[in-house]
Structure 1
Amino acid sequence: MNTAELTFEQIHQTIAQGGRISRDEARWLWQNASIAELCDLAMQVRGRFHTPHSCTYMIMRIINYTNVCVAQCDYCAFYRLPGQEGGYVMKQEEVYTKLDELLALGGDLVSFNGGFNPHLPLDYYCNLFRNIRDRYGDRLEFYALTIAEFMYLADHAKLDYATTAQRFKDAGVRWITGGGSEILTEDFRKRHSKFKYTVAQYFEAQRAIIDAGLRTTATMVIGFDETLEERLEHLERTRQFQDETHGLASFLCWTYKPYFTQIGGIEIGNGEYLRHLALSRIFLDNIPRIRTSVLTRNERALEGLAYGADDFDLPIEDEVTQKAGATISLDFDSILNVAKELGFTPEYRHVATAPQPSTR
């Protein structure tokens, strides 16, 4: 495609007719479209799935059950190496206390996120999740692992991904999220997380999770040193994977928090985040739910509802991002009022009883 011949009117017509933009057109939009133009296109694609002024939210908690990890990602301020001072593993009773606190605050979703802990066998996780399902039933739902952790556990147990996914399913797990993706290019992973798995392995594991009948999501983190081309490659890989599997329930993009990390840096501004969120909504035309990140953008994340997002969560804890500088507010009414002031009507989304979102 000769991008020099592209115009906003041409791309606008494609979107208005229900069409799909190419990677070249996405690049052109990032480089040439105004934020108002991006917003207009993003809201058109949003309208294929959601009514104009609707949005949903959840109250959730991220439980970091261990901080011992051998991945050594240079953007993480949370991990401790095995044997290093400050390393921990939570007891199950501690986990239950956190779950009870979440329920008392009106939430019903918990996400588990730890790391690559070589001292925790697969049975530790299966027993934990089985006990949570037995104890709480459908009163709450849990995102059991990130895909990155899932892959490490499968490798550590010397099992293939299909067998590992079935083990978790038998333990009562219903969700394994797309966490650990960051930027899905091989060059990015070589620069920043060389002990994590390759992009090809990531999608191989996610496909096995879907094939096992488990639910999963797409995630992305921006604001490191990634290039525009790397961002576009991530979006293109995600869209292609969704075309093939129809297994991604949502897409969540958040921003890198640079404080106290090895690589440091300066956090990107909200304008760049909103611009990327809009471009993601335009490009990912086969993922119904696009989520904006209150965890890393605070109440300003709600502006993303006018840039194509339709969903967000109100977190009460996440040590990983808090260690890197994230702040969390429990003033839920104040945050929800931001959405209302922007013209949206937020409705609580109960993950525990919600059906799998359907694709086009």
Structure 2
Amino acid sequence: MSAVLDGSSVVDKVLDGARIDQDDMRELYRLPLQELGALADFRRRVAKKDAYDGRGNDVVTYIVDRNVNYTNVCNVYCKFCAFYRTEKDADHYVLSREELDQKLDELAAEGGVQVLLQGGHNPSLKIDFYLDMLSHIREKYPQINIHGFSPPEFNHFSEVFQMPLREVVAKFKEAGLGSIPGGGGEILVDRVRNRIAPLKCDSDHWLEVMRIAHQLGMRSSATMMFGHVETLDDRLEHLQRLRDLQDETHGFTAFICWTFQPENTRLKAETVTSAEYLRMQALARIFLDNFDNVQSSWVTQGPKIGQVALKYGANDFGSVMMEENVVSSAGTTFRLNAGDIERLIREAGYEPHRRSTWYSLLN
């Protein structure tokens, strides 16, 4: 650890493994980037030292999956989204069963173990559409975990189906849903959410979906999209709410943050620098002391910054992601195959290993 860091009480708290608060985070935010990265790397090594039979500090994981957006019809019109369409748009769609199977056949052929199943808030789709789709995937592709439907989608389902939220989540789990992605988190501060996505569920409802899922035995990821209209304090409040829920349920598998991609969207903002991305990921690793895993976001930052992020608190390189439509609609189109990911991990000095949704090693 750099001698420059000596003498700071906040740095001492990080090195001692003590829990830090939001005031500490504001002080850490002002550190030179490399020094903050060193602290995050230290916390990463502490968090992973006992993982994978004691090899956790040498291992960086990734998953082979596919993003399948079953519909692009959405009635919440988020200002930061370039993907959604209305039912009046000529290019709106709902995937047929044959189209879905073709995508999953291709995923299975690549040894994929997860499908990230997400769509817009389509008011025309009823509960049987979803339950039939889940049952079909579970029966035809039992080796593929269904990691699907973000908290805003579940709140939408509860309203459209006129059904309590817990009942909806339970029915989806019974039909085959295995885990829930952290999409739609954006920033868990309602003042911010009301500006960028006023028709999307509020912070409490986002967290309640995750709480219910964890109580029902499902795990989920947690996310943060930053670099639009939020302040640093908003970002810190977001992390606080995630840490508080993790203290309560221990149901989050990982944290992933990425920067807002402004191209082709109605929400205009300055593009956030890679340095700011690395700074926030490092802060998250330090603050989220009850999260085992932090995922690098090469999809938005590019492969090289995704690789550098492994020295700023990340222990996972995300996914091969055979298909991605939402971020790419906003102008970001990075693509990597399994060989590319493994090469980047090795070049950074780690052992690449494929993993499951729940971070168990597959090779």
TM bracket, shorter-chain basis? over 0.9
Residue matched to 2:194: 190
Residue matched to 1:41: 39
Q: 1:218·1:251 contact (CA, 8 Å) conserved in 2? A: yes
Residue matched to 1:155: 159
Q: Which amino acid aligns with 1:295?
A: V
Deviation at 1:331, TM superposition (A): 4.1
Q: 1:70·1:82 contact (CA, 8 Å) conserved in 2? A: no
CA deviation vs aligned residue, 1:179-217 (integer Å, no higher than 9, x gap): 101111001111010001111111122211111222211
Q: 1:141·1:352 contact (CA, 8 Å) conserved in 2? A: no
Deviation at 1:150, TM superposition (A): 1.1
Deviation at 1:153, TM superposition (A): 0.5
Residue matched to 1:254: 258
Q: 2:83·2:329 contact (CA, 8 Å) conserved in 1? A: yes
Q: Give the match's secondary structure for 1:351.
A: coil
Question: In the alignment, which of 89, 94, 105 is matched to residue 84 of structure 1?
Answer: 89
Q: Percent identity?
A: 36
Q: Which amino acid aligns with 2:44?
A: R
Q: Distance in 2 between matches of 1:273 and 1:18?
A: 23
Q: Distance in 2 between matches of 1:264 and 1:113?
A: 25
Aligned pair 1:74/2:88, yes or no? no
Give the alignment of 1:1-360 within 5 angstroms.
Answer: 9-30=8-29, 32-50=30-48, 51-137=56-142, 139-299=143-303, 300-312=305-317, 313-351=319-357, 354=360
Q: Give the match's secondary structure for 2:46.
A: coil
RMSD: 1.8
Q: Distance in 1 between matches of 2:310 and 2:44?
A: 10
Q: Distance in 2 between matches of 1:85 and 1:9?
A: 59
Q: Distance in 1 between matches of 2:107 and 2:307?
A: 22
Residue matched to 2:51: none
Deviation at 1:327, TM superposition (A): 0.9
Q: Give the match's secondary structure for 1:213.
A: coil
Q: Distance in 1 between matches of 2:82 and 2:280?
A: 25
Deviation at 1:318, TM superposition (A): 1.2
Q: 1:60·1:314 contact (CA, 8 Å) conserved in 2? A: yes
Deviation at 1:352, TM superposition (A): 7.6
Deviation at 1:124, TM superposition (A): 0.7
Deviation at 1:87, TM superposition (A): 0.8
Q: 2:320·2:337 contact (CA, 8 Å) conserved in 1? A: no
Residue matched to 2:53: none
Q: Distance in 2 between matches of 1:131 and 1:201?
A: 29
Deviation at 1:9, TM superposition (A): 2.2
Q: How many residues were matched structurally?
A: 348
Q: Distance in 1 between matches of 2:31 and 2:180?
A: 36
Q: Which amino acid aligns with 2:101?
A: Y
Tell me: CA distance 1:156–1:91, structure 2 relative to 1, closer, same or farther (3 Å). same
Q: Which amino acid aligns with 2:271?
A: E
Q: Which amino acid aligns with 1:93?
A: E
Q: 1:39·1:308 contact (CA, 8 Å) conserved in 2? A: yes
TM-score (norm 1): 0.92
Q: 2:70·2:118 contact (CA, 8 Å) conserved in 1? A: yes
Tell me: CA distance 1:72–1:351, structure 2 relative to 1, closer, same or farther (3 Å). same
Tell me: CA distance 1:336–1:269, structure 2 relative to 1, closer, same or farther (3 Å). farther
Q: Distance in 1 between matches of 2:150 and 2:8?
A: 40
Deviation at 1:107, TM superposition (A): 2.2
Q: Give the match's secondary structure for 1:264.
A: coil
Deviation at 1:7, TM superposition (A): 8.5
Q: Give the match's secondary structure for 1:315.
A: coil
Residue matched to 1:358: none
Tell me: CA distance 1:309–1:353, structure 2 relative to 1, closer, same or farther (3 Å). closer
Q: 1:210·1:247 contact (CA, 8 Å) conserved in 2? A: yes
Q: 2:224·2:258 contact (CA, 8 Å) conserved in 1? A: yes
CA deviation vs aligned residue, 1:224-260 (integer Å, no higher than 9, x gap): 1211011111011111111111111111112211111
Deviation at 1:350, TM superposition (A): 2.6
Tell me: CA distance 1:127–1:29, structure 2 relative to 1, closer, same or farther (3 Å). same
Q: Distance in 1 between matches of 2:337 and 2:7?
A: 41
Q: Give the match's secondary structure for 2:163.
A: coil
Runs of 5+ consecutive residues of structure 2 not aligned to the other structure: 49-55
TM-score (norm 2): 0.92
Q: 2:299·2:335 contact (CA, 8 Å) conserved in 1? A: no
